[in-house]
Chain A
Amino acid sequence: MKIKVLGTGLTKFGELWDKDLLDLALEASLESINESRITNNDIDAVFVANMLYGKLTGQDHLGALVASGLGLKCPSFRIEGACASGGLAVHLAIQSLLAGTYKNVLVLGAEKMTDANGPQITSALMGAGSEAERKAGLTFPALYALMAKAHMQKYGTTRKHLASVSVKNHYHASLNEKAQFPFEVTEEKVLESPVISSPFTLFDASPITDGAAAVVLSSQSTQPGVFITGSAVATDTVDLASRQSLTEITATKQAAKKALAQAGVEIKDIHLAEVHDCFTIAEILAMEDLGFCKKGEGGAFVTKGHTKLGGKCPVNTSGGLKACGHPVAATGIKQIIEITHQLQGRAGKRQVKGANVGLTQNVGGTGATVVVHVLQI
């Protein structure tokens, strides 16, 4: 598989009161088309990832909405897979290119979340959970908190291990002008911030974010550049209770195995990764389930600095979901963009020297959907 990333477009992530969903979608889309050096007429299809807009505003039919906003009359699709919507859209777009149905496609993820109040957005996000979880009054912070406590009980993971993920990702975000929170935090700040769902404090959680990300993918270009060489999806039960284990995301293992095999590389060959740190425990689980370290050692792996810029495998150089922000359906595509920019050597102050193989991991729910991509130059 060799699908080229022709162009990228990314809005600022944050609380963007002066922009609605379509403003964000068009900004990212046009930037990616311009960077691709193709015209709108060269786009054969549009894939729009979105989870929440219909639920929060009543506006559905986003495929046609975005395409018409761009002046396009080509096929356009809306894709939803909770917080993995963006990764899923990239995967489906790649399948359409590999099938030969299309030659150049635009893949967009956009979300407008900050117009809703706290309980509204918390409830809307629980659409990614199960009915039993909603009846129990669970939230996503609470579901991941249960996973964190299970990991702490089984492997001795500590609050300081969790906090080290937040501290590291805020440091990376401080080097990213597109990040929602481009500033550093201390371990004390993380540990002493208000508890949202024990053992998590506010700084263990990714924020509510507006933003959009877009890429143009092509099956036609043979010129040097960044190529997606592995793309795989795996699924599991929507409800956490029915999983085999509370301390691993099995779908991550399955998707990673397939994507790495497609790319012809092993996890030790990966120079950097963008993973789904919706909560601090999620990055620790990702390190273990992707195979960067042994099961149970993810906390110490992060705390030792292996995943910080300058470490042996920097993770979430964008700042991750935690500090760059998490406009849910845009996240999987922003991850692709961050790795693309790193492999192109255009990541500025957060550039990973010599990077030529990168990986993304995008999770929906508590691990019901996982999408893994491998990118190479």
Chain B
Amino acid sequence: MSSPVQIWRQHKTLHNYLNKTGRLIVWTKIFVAPSGFEHQTPYLVGMVQFEDERMPSQIVDCSEADLKVNMKVITVIRKIGKVKAEDVIEYGIKVKPVL
């Protein structure tokens, strides 16, 4: 996971990505995770087309059955990975469906 100073640097630009809407192009459900994400399995990650760029993002607040190709999604701020009690909590951008 990232160091405190890396987290501090990255958090300064998070607001640029908030409240953006896009279209879900494709997604996968991950059952085998990298370090720091094991506790989330299985989880959904998709490729989202925004107006100006394409981005990978975790998809939250829904089940796979809710997802459709080209459905509208919106960015939200969420905790990234797992941290120990004394660690700095890292936040990042995820998307949820606009239902």
Contact = CB atoms under 8 A, between A and B. Distances in A.
A118 interface: yes
Contacts of A240: 47, 56
Binding site of A, secondary structure by majority: helix, strand, loop or mixed?
helix
B70 to A, nearest CB: 10
Nearest to A118: B32
Contact of A197 (B25, B29, B56, B57): B29
B27 A122 contact: no
Interface string A122-158: 1100100000111111110110011001100100000
A119 B26 contact: no
A149 B47 CA distance: 11
A194 interface: yes
Given A122-B34, A139-B34, A145 B69 contact: no
Nearest to A152: B26
Contacts, number: 90
B37 A197 contact: no
A123 B34 contact: yes
Interface string B66-92: 000100000000001100000000001
B62 interface: no
A242 B27 CA distance: 16
Contacts of A149: 26-28
A95 interface: no
B30 interface: yes
Interface in A289-330: none
Binding site of B, secondary structure by majority: helix, strand, loop or mixed?
strand
Given A122-B34, A123-B35, A137-B43, A242 B26 contact: no
B55 interface: yes
Given A139-B33, A194-B31, A132 B55 contact: yes
Nearest to A148: B28
Contacts of B45: 136-138, 142, 146
B57 to A, nearest CB: 6
Nearest to A200: B28
Interface in A186-202: 194-199
Interface residues of B, number: 30
A136 B58 contact: yes
Contacts of B35: 119-120, 122-123
Given A119-B38, A241-B56, A242-B54, A145 B31 contact: no
Interface in A262-295: none
Interface string B1-45: 000000000000000000000000111111111111110100101
A246 interface: yes
Given A137-B43, A137-B45, A149-B26, A196 B56 contact: no
A323 to B, nearest CB: 19
Given A142-B45, A241-B53, A137 B33 contact: yes
B38 A146 contact: no
B26 A137 contact: no
Given A120-B35, A138-B45, A153-B69, A146 B29 contact: no
A113 to B, nearest CB: 15
B62 to A, nearest CB: 15
Contacts of A126: 34
Nearest to B80: A135
A196 B36 CA distance: 17
20 contacts: A119-B35, A119-B38, A123-B35, A126-B34, A135-B80, A137-B30, A137-B34, A137-B43, A137-B58, A142-B28, A146-B26, A146-B56, A150-B26, A150-B47, A197-B28, A198-B29, A199-B28, A241-B54, A242-B53, A246-B26
Interface of A: 118-120, 122-123, 126, 132-139, 141-142, 145-146, 149-150, 153, 194-199, 239-242, 246
